[in-house]
Amino acid sequence: MSTSSGSWAEIPASGELPPYRLFTGHLEKPELDDRHYRVLELQNGVKAVLIHDPEADKAAACLAVALGYMYDPIDAPGMAHFCEHMISKGSEPFPEENDFYSFIATNGGTRNAATGPMTTDYWFTINPAQLRAGLPRLAAFFSAPLFTESLTAREINAVDSEYKRNLQNDVRRVLQLTKDLSLPGHPWSKFGTGNYATLSAFGRKGEGDSEEEVMKETRRRLVEWWKEHYCASRMSLAVIGKESLEELTSLVVPAFSKIENSGLEPRPTIKDPVWGVEQHGVCDQYAFSVQFELPDLRERYLTLSTSLLGHLLGHEGKGSICAYLKKRGWLLGLSAGVSGNTRAVHLFKVEGTLTLEGYLHYESVLETVFAHIALLRRAQPLPSYHYSELATMARTSFRFREKGPPRVYAGALAQEFFEPYPPEWLLSGPSLYGEHDEELTKSLLNGFVPEKARVLLMAKTHREEVVGADVRWETAKWYGTQYFVRRMDDGGLLQRLQAPSENSELALPAPNPYIPADLSVDKAPVPEPAKYPILVKRTESAQLWHKKDDQFWVPRAKVRIFLKSPIAYVTVRHAMMTRLFVDLVQDALSEVTYDAAIAGLGYSVGNDDEGISIGVGGYNDKLDVLLRTVLEKICGIQVAPDRLQVFQEKIQRGYENFYLGQPSNLSETFAKWLLMPTVWTPADRLTELSRIGVLDIERHRDELLSKTCIDILVTGNYTRERSLDILTMTEQCLQSRSLLPNERPTPRSLLFPPGSNFVLRKLHANPKELNSSLSYYCQFGEPSDVRLRAITSLMLHILREPCFSTLRTKEQLGYVVAATTWVINSGTLGLGIKVQSTRAPRFVEGRVEAFLEAFAAQLAALSDEQFAKHKEGLIVKKLERVKNLGEETARYWDRIRAGHYDFLRHEKSAEAVSELTLAEVVEAYNTLMRPSTGAKTRRKFSVHLVSQQLDETAAEERGEVQFIDDESLFKCQLACAPAVTPVMSEAFGEFFHDHVG
């Protein structure tokens, strides 16, 4: 952001407040934004935006630094990332290593940081009353960090664990490979994550070096690098709080003015070409990516020609690349647009996921891409509606922008300071289109030629008919990705792409019929927004919930529909057919709904073990048109045999890959499956996938929709009368009969007996995965028990920080350490701990149980003041208000889908938390969680997901541990928790006294 123009006032020092510059011009804001803003530049060059939100129930701050891993030393890959880890572990004013995390967690907040190629972000959220204590802690990281010597080895291990977590992550592997193949020595090629070897190698002088000396040298280089690159003028800050702008100024200016300005370039850039002649070609690794390097567009930020080209090349409607390739059975999905950073490597990409046939015809796929680019060149100048539609929707979106999570907003604004917008466009710059620059669009298209492209072809296993028989594969250094490179002029591909034949099936999109015309808002102010929707109508097969918008005042609405059907999941074959049916509906809708998405409308169709979910949302003017389109497609889809085959292939690939996922995610999933009476796993479903034909899907559709129980929620800028129209439309389209009460799906949760200590042991399917995972779970009881809900959430609130600090930071068990509450099918709740580690899960479980034993003393030793602080922080979380229509709808829908309709559950839980005593929590912990005192009362089980790389013999039984050998037989022996029952309230309106099925 430029600050060299006028509209700035110099504010002199006053008392303890250092001098600063104040932006006095007009800041362009969304129409609905009632917050107050102040833009400052501190004397040391830190730029800041302060936001006074009197309604804020969560404060937030983000400091962004305009450099990232592209500035790592050549001999120390990962230094910027390592600095991000170390800098927040203690400062001179706040020297304790876990001070910041503990302070934030206690006061109902969250914190994190992230290192990118050209930026590094540090953010936190917190109880608004504690913002004034949080800001000095954040500022001290950058003015007086300790980089504590004793933490060096531990944090390098944390970085190394993060690296090992991503070794089998295909996105990371391909990204690093594309960087490796850039110009030798270009900063883009750097290995940004780092690992133990890269962050200690420069400290090793010989074989006899002690680890202590190596770590001292590593810390010395870290401090040296930090002093060389971190500078106040490279920093920007966004703060959101309830305090007035004057109060926020008095908090920010003194604290952040202490950061040193060493005179470095405020917004460093790296705009050297990233590819040379040798870097243009096919990197052969079923997906493709066509990439072009963009020129420096920072001064052309209002033209957004790249957005226009991304829209046209990524379009999914009739005449598009996507529609044509899908018709040929070659494509599953496509995207196009900009990637990277305007200050460094800036790429334009056209990427897609291919079918096997698409992979085998990849050259024809590429010819289609370049044929469409040639079509765009011939069509210049483009009809004006292509650009004006995008500009209109961008203006409309900015005008009616709703509030979002404070953390996300603060992070976005802190980043915007790095863009070249004038200060008055700090909020609007990324959202608005200027005049269409036809010459720039033409220039970019002239650069989108095969000889300037890099093409990647990716597959798990390449076929000889595609890559040839004499391929010499190489192995990438950091992630072990197998690849080879060849020039596109080998075999004549380049020549064919340079002169692609005209394709009569490719065309530019027609004008968008979904652009909203009526943006009026039915605004009827109320003394206080309603806290729940009302059940306005119940028919034999459906019930309609409605809440008219009474606080956000946007011309948007949302409709959520759920079709309950016992047919959806009754057998593994039915579950598989339901999934195929939903995928085929989405596929059939893609052409007709893409325009809707451009016009601010969205839809979703999904499935679970109870039935089919449908959702539409966006500008309400034509929302009912979109909903009717979706419902008619669901009821009348004609399944094309070739598309069924495409999706069978896609699903098979996805199900097979499922078991290759992150160990911590898999162990969590396996654990939750143990608590569900019926689960059809991906492996189960694969036994039926290939046996399902077109007639099977169409018969299943008719049977699925013939008898249903329908829940509908309508929110936003829709009156009660219009919501009734939605109900009528839904019932008319579906024409389904009502399920009998006993036919309705009723999810249940299994109950473990008191004194349980079960272990399920599995091997990870990927032989190259280094990490194992432990998911450790204690089942507490039923979530309908408000007191138990409060105890569980407070127990977690107090335990989360010491769990992380002990198991990850101090004991270095692994990068993924998390404590969470679990709720299974709304029937049982409990508390779980997961750890992903290169250590054996049985060892990790021993450390978890040691922590749980030690934590009992910490819990019991809390002072009255400390306990009250924890309760206050949790209550702030519980009572956090919804910020926009989407959050409000999601909260209501969650209660409806859970089946308890307890719309005020968060308020009841908060009240119960306020009434808890420490003695109650300690007693519950000792009974439900602690291994020693709860040996006969706990309901504990764990999942050990073991790496094949781990040299571990079968675990020996410890004490009363019981191993689960046959999951199905084991589950048959467990009882079920009671089914969820509705919580009757005034939300049921005239149906308050009726039976709810």
Q: Which residue has the tokens 């690349």?
A: 321
- How large is the average pLDDT for residues 495-524? 93
Residue 367 to residue 499: CA distance in whole angstroms: 9
Residue 131 to residue 59: CA distance in whole angstroms: 6
The tokens describing 626, both together, are: 């979109």
Q: Which residue has the tokens 């710059």?
A: 429
Handedness of CA 395, 401, 405, 411 (dihedral sign): positive
- How large is the average pLDDT for residues 568-572? 97
Residue 452 to residue 291: CA distance in whole angstroms: 9
Note whether 139 and 259 are within 8 A (CB). yes
Name the maximum alpha-carbon separation found in the chain.
82
- The predicted pLDDT at position 555 comes to 98
Handedness of CA 422, 427, 428, 429 (dihedral sign): positive
Residue 298: how many other CB atoms lie within 10 Å: 14
Residue 422 to residue 5: CA distance in whole angstroms: 8
| Residue 282 pLDDT grade (very low, low, confident, very high; cuts 50, 70, 90) | very low
Residue 502: how many other CB atoms lie within 10 Å: 9
Residue 873 to residue 793: CA distance in whole angstroms: 11
Note whether 158 and 815 are within 8 A (CB). yes
Angle 479-482-488 (CA atoms, 0-180°, nearest 5)? 125
Chain center to CA of 513: 31
In total, the chain counts a number of residues equal to 997
The tokens describing 190, both together, are: 């750097």
The tokens describing 543, both together, are: 């019930």
Kindly calculate the radius of gyration of the chain based on its CA atoms and give it in whole angstroms: 29
Cβ neighbours for 180, distance < 8 A, ≥ 6 positions apart:
189, 476, 477, 478
| This model's pTM is above 0.95 | no
The mean pLDDT value of the chain amounts to 93
- Taking phi first (over 0 means left), then psi (-120 to 50 degrees means alpha), and beta for anything else, what does residue 271 get? alpha
pLDDT per residue as tens digits for the range 307-360: 999 999 999 999 999 999 999 999 999 999 999 888 888 899 999 999 999 999
- How large is the average pLDDT for residues 964-986? 95
Pairing of strands 772-781, 828-837: antiparallel
pLDDT per residue as tens digits for the range 880-909: 999 999 999 999 999 999 999 999 999 999
pLDDT of 959 above 60: no
Residue 438 to residue 441: CA distance in whole angstroms: 5
Q: If DSSP states are collapsed to H, E and C, what string results for 376-387?
A: HHHCCCCCCHHH
Residue 171 to residue 169: CA distance in whole angstroms: 6
Residue 995: how many other CB atoms lie within 10 Å: 7
H or E element: which one contains 986? none
pLDDT per residue as tens digits for the range 704-761: 999 999 999 999 999 999 999 999 999 999 999 999 999 999 999 999 999 999 999 9
Of the ranges 187-191, 210-214, 474-478, 885-889, the best mean pLDDT one = 885-889
pLDDT per residue as tens digits for the range 55-106: 999 999 999 999 999 999 999 999 999 999 999 999 999 999 999 999 999 9
| Amino acid code (one letter) for 510 | A
Q: Which residue has the tokens 């962004």?
A: 64
Residue 218 to residue 214: CA distance in whole angstroms: 6
Note whether 829 and 939 are within 8 A (CB). no
Question: In the chain, pLDDT over 90 holds for what percent of residues?
Answer: 83
Residue 421 to residue 435: CA distance in whole angstroms: 16
- Asked if omega into 525 is within 30° of 0 (cis), the reply is no
Pairing of strands 59-65, 8-11: unpaired
Strands (E), 685-754: 707-716, 737-738, 750-751
Residue 875 to residue 819: CA distance in whole angstroms: 19
pLDDT per residue as tens digits for the range 100-138: 999 999 999 999 999 999 999 999 999 999 999 999 999
pLDDT of 958 above 60: no
pLDDT per residue as tens digits for the range 665-695: 999 999 999 999 999 999 999 999 999 999 9
Residue 643 to residue 649: CA distance in whole angstroms: 10
CA distances 496 to 466, 491, 899, Å, are: 17, 10, 59
Strand, helix or coil for residue 656: helix
- How large is the average pLDDT for residues 770-775? 96
CA terminus-to-terminus distance, the chain: 58
Strand, helix or coil for residue 525: coil
Cβ burial 223-256 (10 Å sphere, 16+ → b, else e): eebbeebbbbbbbbbbbbbbbeeeebbbbbbbbb
Residue 910 φ then ψ, to 5°:
-60, -40
Residue 351 φ then ψ, to 5°:
-130, 150
